[in-house]
Structure 1
Amino acid sequence: MKFIIGTKIEMGQVWNEAGERVPVTWIKADPCKVTQVKTDEKDGYSAVQIGCGEKKRLIKPLAGHLKDLPKFRYLKEFRVSDPENFERGKEIKVTIFEPGDKVAVAGTSKGRGFAGVVKRHGFHGSPASHGHKDQLRMPGSIGATDPAHVFKGTKMGGQMGAERVMVKNLEIVQVDEKENRLAIKGAVPGARNSLVEIIAQ
């Protein structure tokens, strides 16, 4: 299984061999290191924890966890079926991927704050006339008289974005070993400089 964590830089474009323009997202993925290998016998499940980034100071429990490794800012865990192929301190680089590989990318979507139903759920709103002077973007009825309560899951205004989103079946277009960058076709979740996880499918 192949995976790495990196930082979303920006969107751009490249041209393929057929001369077609391909929109891509550039992701900076500096070499990561394995910080912990979890097994079924010891931990109850199989996973690999990797770290990246730099941090000036660590809290003592984390400093002990990374005592023989660099001071990583980010730690992420990935479920694996072959933990025996990993060992603490092993380096993971962008070269594990090749152009044409299909990947899933997970990140934190842009936070939109408290959004109304028109923006959050795509409601059409009310007519601008026929007695509606201040109802244009209101949700309308949220329930009937008989149940006398609002059902859970009713689409209403509320916090929008700032949640984990995974986009699957994206294609790797370029692998830049010199700059530790990946070009992934299309858009990926998150703002610029946000952390993303790239997992081979």
Structure 2
Amino acid sequence: MMSSSPSVSLYESLLAEFCYSKRAFPSASARSDPTKLIAAFASIGVAARGYLHPEELLQIALLKNGGKLSGKTRAAIGANSAEAIEALTRLALSATDDELAIRYLLGLDGVNLATASCILAWAEPRRWPVIDVNAWAAIEHFDNERSRPERRSKALKVSDWLFYVRLVRMVAEASGRTPQEVDVWLYSVGRSLKAHPVGVTE
């Protein structure tokens, strides 16, 4: 898939804001803070193992959704066999192509783009970020040249994910931080924009 490239203006704006903003490293709410889960995954070697167990997939989905899942989503996730979860998460975590990595995970029942990005990012936070509507709202705020992919619906698409990953990695590399740290900041900015539509307050 051909994806849009972030403009120089967008990259420079994000980098400057990330490096100098007082909100650069916000704390997340206990219900959605992935810090403990990332540490737990690191301690048991999820990345080295190279795949998820069913209970780990459920943990990720619950955390991404604030500890609650609809009955339909929980049932869909539970319908995935352990063999399917192992096979698809192994393919994703070993993929060298970002599009393939995310599309393998979208093959799991009950896993949408945001949850798929959590699987990648929380297993390997130095490699991938999490995408969601709040982080994307921050991108839209800073992207005056509209270099981001054109959207025809509210739902985020794989093309958005590819653009987002490229941009977040650029900012992370230049700032000496991880993609996970950049996306947590973007999430915070997006939430602030929703609370203060005219501008983001310090």
Q: TM class, shorter-chain normalised?
A: under 0.3
Task: Report which of the two structures shows the higher radius of gyration computed on alpha carbons.
Answer: 1
More strand by share: 1
What TM-score do the two structures reach when normalised by structure 1? 0.27
What TM-score do the two structures reach when normalised by structure 2? 0.27
